[in-house]
Amino acid sequence: MVDLGAVLALLKVERAKLDKAIAALSGVTGNSSSGGRRKLSAAARARIAAAQRARWAKFKAKKGR
């Protein structure tokens, strides 16, 4: 009969090794494990929106001629 306690202990050791490897690789790539999007402040979003509106206005003014 298989000693389930020994198998469980081996699996825990392997999991610890995998967790270390994942942490090391995550550090190298610079990606967070959350996979979430960056959070921008309201002021940053407003600056980006204003810049985009200015680009569109310039494009439309040039196209209109």
Task: Give per-residue pLDDT as tens, 12-62.
Answer: 999 999 999 988 888 776 555 556 788 999 999 999 999 999 999 999 999
Q: How many CB atoms lie under 10 A from the CB of residue 25?
A: 10
- Under the banding of pLDDT at 50, 70 and 90, the label for residue 10 is very high
> Is 44 among the domain residues?
yes
- Under the banding of pLDDT at 50, 70 and 90, the label for residue 1 is low
> Is 34 among the domain residues?
no
For 47, the domain range is 4-29+40-64
Q: How many domains does the chain have?
A: 1
> Which residue matches tokens 């790539």?
29
Tell whether pTM > 0.85. no
